[in-house]
């Protein structure tokens, strides 16, 4: 059965995006078969199912390169402890929440976020997971939630030494097991997950370097806060990027979240190794850890993508927030248009490094049918040249009407077809009281290296 999403302004994406007013996209199975004027598509496929974009934007499904599904049940949680710097936020909030998670709350947290990705038009998501009390099989639990929702994902478990040697070894085993299990999977892939240099001892990094498959990639937090560099230098006599390179972890499948507090040499190393930096402007602001100057870092030759870091599942809103943040920080109303538009393209490039899909993220014949419609009817001329203005000043504030992933309609006229987010939230609410009780029973004051 062929389907059409029509009656919208098609933005094809890709290095030279086309804009087709009164356009549409047709797909058969999981592949796009035609992109063009909507009336032509309907003539060509008279029996097709038709979804109506009601004049809004028809775009490629969005990619989020850094998410934490495990963080969803922290909403409204009072840590009951002062948190005056980032190390305390980790120790007193996140490293207690992750230890309090069990199989059930990992599942519900992932289901909630996967549903939110669907609602926000994100069809490919990179998740970075931690649940030290439920490590073995946790990635299967998340993968099942992602599959139920209908998304594509790149998953990992964050290895760390802060919960002792056994915890680190269990994390390594979970990554290896999942990488092997999903080696030939078209929709769900693995990448090797690490927490951050300052909670990883040399023994553990040596073990990872020895066991990690050559093309597995890695997904790690780097210099999110100065504490990463300070502790790494104190214990290991070097900076986090040099350290990762020494263990052979920097290549074109290395995903370095944040990368804020680094020097020129470190950025040069990242660029030389073709590793990707994942910028998370909303969470950087929330944690008060500083800001990545995207334009400056891109000028140094680094590929910079955009994530939400568990703050939300809306990439368009993160794009808008990051754009405004650049202008605010530089006190410069002309900033932002040079590098920010490349963030979404970078996300596509990063996703293509993990999926065998050279057209992923574009509306082209033969591309995977990942298509969304956003209810932002352009009230002014829209061309490829001014697309970014339409995205940050309008589209980010409008709901996504339709989400189609690999040809399957997951959101139709704002209604979920694959999952029921209210039912998931209600079930999560039943479990979150006990989760929070476990959280409050846990001590803080963790040691970074176990
Ligand atoms: Zn993160």
pLDDT tens, N- to C-terminus, the chain (450 residues): 899 999 999 999 988 899 999 999 999 999 999 999 999 999 999 999 999 999 999 999 999 999 999 999 999 999 999 999 999 999 999 999 999 999 999 999 999 999 999 999 999 999 999 999 999 999 999 999 999 999 999 999 999 999 999 999 999 999 999 999 999 999 999 999 999 999 999 999 999 999 999 999 999 999 999 999 999 999 999 999 999 999 999 999 999 999 999 999 999 999 999 999 999 999 999 999 999 999 999 999 999 999 999 999 999 999 999 999 999 999 999 988 888 889 999 999 999 999 999 999 999 999 999 999 999 999 999 999 999 999 999 999 999 999 999 999 999 999 999 999 999 999 999 999 999 999 999 999 988 997
Q: In the numeric block, which tokens belong to residue 276?
A: 């990707």
Distance between CA atoms of residues 14 and 133, nearest Å: 42
Rounded CA separation 239/218 (Å): 18
Residue 264: its pLDDT value, please?
Answer: 97
Nearest-angstrom CA–CA distance, 344 and 360: 12
Q: Are 215 and 25 in contact, with CB atoms under 8 Å apart? A: no
Ligand 1 centre distance from Cα of residue 153 (Å):
16
Q: Could you tell me which of 70, 272, 275, 72 has the C-alpha nearest to residue 155?
A: 70
Kind and range of the H or E element at 344? Answer: helix 342-352
Q: How many CB atoms lie within 10 A of CB 415?
A: 9
Q: How far is the CA of 190 from the centre of ligand 1 (A)?
A: 17
CA distances 411 to 21, 64, 373, Å, are: 23, 18, 10
Residue 182, pLDDT score: 97
* Interval between CA 280 and ligand 1 midpoint (Å): 8
**Ligand 1 center–CA 441 separation, angstroms:** 24
CA–centroid distance, residue 290 to ligand 1 (Å): 14
Q: What is the pLDDT of residue 340?
A: 84
284 CA to middle of ligand 1, Å? 10
DSSP assigned state of 368: B
User: Cα(401) to centroid of ligand 1, in Å?
Assistant: 28
Query: For residue 224, how far is its CA from the centre of ligand 1 (angstroms)?
Result: 9
Distance 33 CA to ligand 1 centre (A): 37
Q: How far, in Å, is the centroid of ligand 1 from the Cα of 257?
A: 6
Write down the pLDDT at residue 338: 82
Two tokens, residue 414 = 């704002």
Question: How many angstroms separate the CA atoms of 214 and 57, rounded?
Answer: 40
Q: For residues 149 and 421, is the Cβ–Cβ distance under 8 A? A: no
What DSSP string runs through 60-119? EPEEEEEE-GGGGGGTT---SS---SHHHHIIIIIHHHHHH--HHHHHHHHHHHHHHHHH
311 alpha carbon – ligand 1 mean position (Å):
9
CA of 285 to the centre of ligand 1 (A): 13
What's the 90 CA to ligand 1 centre distance in angstroms?
11
CA 220–ligand 1 middle distance (angstroms): 8
User: From the CA of 186, how far away is ligand 1's center (Å)?
Assistant: 25
| Span from the CA of 334 to the centroid of ligand 1 (angstroms) | 29
Q: What separation in Å is there between the alpha carbon of 24 and the centre of ligand 1?
A: 36
CA angle 155, 160, 161 (to 5 degrees): 160
Separation of CA 194 and ligand 1 centre (Å)? 11
CA distances from 13 to 101, 295, 384, 387, 395 (A): 39, 21, 9, 10, 15
281 CA → ligand 1 middle, Å: 11
Q: How much distance in Å is there from the Cα of 302 to the middle of ligand 1?
A: 19
Q: How far apart are CA 233 and CA 197, in angstroms?
A: 10
Output the CA 219–ligand 1 centroid distance in Å: 9
In the reported structure, the alpha carbon of residue 79 is separated from the centroid of ligand 1 by a whole-number distance in angstroms of: 19
172: which 2 tokens?
Answer: 């390594």
Question: What is the C-alpha to C-alpha distance for residues 389 and 320, in angstroms, rounded to an integer?
Answer: 10
Return the half-sphere exposure (C-beta side, CA atoms, 13 A cut-off) of residue 248: 11
Domains of the chain, start order: 2-61+368-416 (2.30.40.10), 62-352 (3.20.20.140)
* Interatomic CA distance for residues 291 and 304, integer angstroms: 13
Q: Cα of 397 to ligand 1 centre, how many Å?
A: 24
List Cα–Cα distances, 282 to 64, 77, 357, in angstroms: 13, 19, 29
């Amino acid at each position: 059965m062929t389907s059409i999403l029509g009656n919208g302004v098609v933005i094809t994406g890709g290095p030279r995006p086309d804009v087709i007013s009164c356009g549409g996209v047709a797909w058969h199975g999981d592949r796009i078969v035609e992109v063009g004027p909507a009336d032509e598509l309907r003539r060509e496929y008279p029996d097709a199912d038709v979804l109506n974009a009601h004049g809004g934007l028809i775009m490629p499904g969005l990619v989020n390169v850094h998410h934490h599904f495990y963080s969803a049940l922290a909403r409204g949680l009072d840590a009951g402890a002062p948190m005056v710097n980032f190390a305390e936020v980790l120790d007193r909030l996140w490293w207690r929440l992750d230890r309090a998670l069990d199989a059930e709350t990992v599942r519900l947290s992932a289901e909630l976020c996967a549903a939110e990705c669907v609602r926000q038009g994100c069809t490919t998501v990179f998740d970075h997971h931690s649940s030290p009390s439920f490590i073995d099989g946790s990635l299967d639990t998340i993968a099942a939630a992602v599959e139920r929702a209908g998304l594509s994902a790149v998953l990992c478990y964050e290895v760390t030494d802060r919960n002792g040697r056994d915890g680190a070894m269990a994390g390594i085993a979970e990554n290896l097991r999942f990488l092997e299990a999903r080696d030939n999977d078209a929709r769900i892939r693995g990448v090797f997950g690490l927490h951050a240099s300052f909670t990883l001892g040399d023994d553990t990094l040596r073990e990872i370097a020895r066991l990690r498959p050559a093309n597995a990639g890695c997904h790690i937090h780097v210099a999110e806060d100065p504490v990463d560099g300070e502790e790494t230098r104190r214990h290991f006599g070097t900076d986090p990027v040099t350290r990762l390179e020494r263990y052979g972890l920097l290549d074109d499948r290395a995903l370095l979240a944040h990368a804020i507090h680094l020097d020129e040499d470190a950025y040069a190393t990242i660029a030389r190794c073709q590793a990707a930096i994942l910028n998370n402007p909303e969470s950087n602001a929330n944690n008060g850890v500083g800001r990545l100057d995207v334009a400056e870092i891109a000028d140094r030759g680094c590929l910079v993508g955009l994530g939400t870091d568990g703050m939300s599942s809306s990439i368009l809103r993160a794009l808008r927030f990051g754009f405004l943040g650049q202008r605010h920080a530089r006190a410069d109303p002309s900033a932002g248009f040079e590098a920010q538009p490349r963030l979404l393209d970078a996300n596509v490039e990063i996703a293509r490094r993990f999926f065998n899909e050279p057209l992923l993220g574009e509306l082209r014949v033969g591309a995977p049918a990942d298509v969304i419609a956003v209810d932002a009817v352009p009230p002014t001329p829209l061309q490829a040249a001014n697309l970014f203005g339409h995205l940050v000043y309008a589209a980010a504030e409008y709901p996504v009407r339709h989400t189609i992933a690999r040809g399957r309609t997951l959101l139709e006229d704002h209604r979920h077809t694959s999952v029921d987010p209210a039912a998931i939230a209600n079930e999560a609410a039943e479990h979150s009281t006990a989760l929070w009780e476990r959280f409050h029973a846990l001590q803080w004051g963790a040691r970074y290296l176990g």
